[in-house]
Structure 1
Amino acid sequence: MTRLLVASRNAKKLTELRRVLDAAGLTELTLLSLADVPPFEEAPETGATFEENALAKARDAYVATGIPTVADDSGLAVDALNGMPGVLSARWSGAHGNDVANLELLLGQLRDVPDERRGAAFVSACALVSDAQETVVRGEWAGAIARAPRGAGGFGYDPIFVPAGSELSAAELTPAQKDAASHRGRALALLVPALRALG
């Protein structure tokens, strides 16, 4: 079995990657998270783009552990906010990872924005760093921002993101539906050939 480190402590991201790998038939990869390896100093996310942050995270973890590493940097780009919160999505409200505060702040900022100007996209950049390669891919998922949260699935901004062509929020989709369409699912699918080469 080939080990693959996911440079995250987010169990939901790990589960999502496992589903994508299984669907691609990559069952020989054993996934580890940052909780499964000795601690190391992680550089702050200072990149101006999702791609820069993902690659920096993957490089740091690979250098520290020697294990081929996948890292993702993702967020929400809102048209009416000129693409923000973007790379600041996880700490939009000031505290990193406070999903409820981030979501409430964003809804407040868009309170007076009419429905036709509430377009947005989830963006995910995924980087793979190993002895043999550095690969960076990008996936996008277009949609719009709802006026109130809906659904109990997913995480982050999922309850207020309504994918294009859907009546349901991302938090109301099944895991399989989300994987098939989501920004991270699309990016990870583009990474599958490089991951297959690892095995």
Structure 2
Amino acid sequence: MSSKDWLSQGTLVLASNNKGKIVEFEKMFNDLKLPVEVIPQGKLDIEDAIEDGLSFVENAIIKARHASKISGKPAIADDSGICVPVLGGAPGIYSARYAGEHGNDALNNTKLLSELQPYRKPGQAIDAMFVCVLALVQHADDPLPQIFQGIWKGQVLEAARGENGFGYDPLFWLPELGISSAEMSKEEKNKISHRGQAMQLFKASLS
């Protein structure tokens, strides 16, 4: 089976119910002008998969297989989060539920700041990176999922800045630009973000 066979199916399911991610993906898929309809899984009444993998890659594949199995269509899934080296890579794959309640951005941000407090030193930045792994499966039992990975390096601020984006965007500082991820427009962010990078690799795979 060709790696592009899914293009002939007419529909690609986006295995996410995260509103922030869906908005970003819809914009990026729009820009790609794919000859398929990309449908968020919620429109097909598909609930979130149980993410019991131990890596971004495993969880992205679990989510893609889950959406593909229920819909009977090819599916693409994103697993992403923020990794902070001084915390041993945490929150990592647990980014969305770091504070215990899935998708509560305010609580997750507060917990991250609290966990970093002992590591704060005057004039010293705390490095971090946003990671995105996209997994594309032709069908639920696809033995060869396609994987696209993006890594966006930055630092963790001491307090939130900016009103845009979602998740940890208000805490993610880009020193070379002098702004936080939440101070960027969707267009600016999509060009350089972890998700934007993974989507560029996905796009390159189509040519």
Structure 2 length as normaliser, TM-score? 0.86
CA RMSD between the two structures: 1.9
1:32 to 39, 50, 66: 39
Runs of 4+ with deviation above 4 angstroms: none
Structure 1 residue identity aligned to 2:83? A
Cα deviations by residue, 1:50-95 (Å, 9 ceiling, x for unpaired) = 0000011101111111111110000000021011110011111111
User: Hey, what's the Cα distance between the residues in 1 that align with 2:25 and 2:58?
Assistant: 20
**2:68 aligned with 1:54, yes or no?**
no
Structure 2 CA distance for aligned equivalents of residues 175 and 63 of structure 1:
32
Structure-2 residue corresponding to 1:82: 88
Match of 1:145 in 2: 156
Deviates more, 1:108-117 or 1:69-78: 108-117
Distance 1:58 1:164, change over 3 A: farther
Question: Structure 2 CA distance, aligned partners of 1:124 and 1:88?
Answer: 13
Contact 2:96 2:105 in 1 (8 A): yes
- Percent of counterpart pairs with the same letter? 37
DSSP-derived class of the 1:110 partner: helix
1:66 aligns to 2:72 (yes or no):
yes
TM-score after normalising by structure 1? 0.90
Deviates more, 1:184-193 or 1:1-10: 1-10
* Cα displacement string for residues 105-137 of structure 1 (whole angstroms, at most 9, x for unaligned residues): 111111242253500000001001114862011
State the AA in 2 paired with 1:96.
H
Question: 5+ unaligned residues in a row in structure 1: which ranges?
Answer: none
Q: 1:34 to 1:147 in 2, by over 3 A?
A: same
Matched, 1:156 2:167: yes
CA distance in 2 between partners of 1:6 and 1:164 (Å): 32
Q: Does 1:21 align with 2:32?
A: no
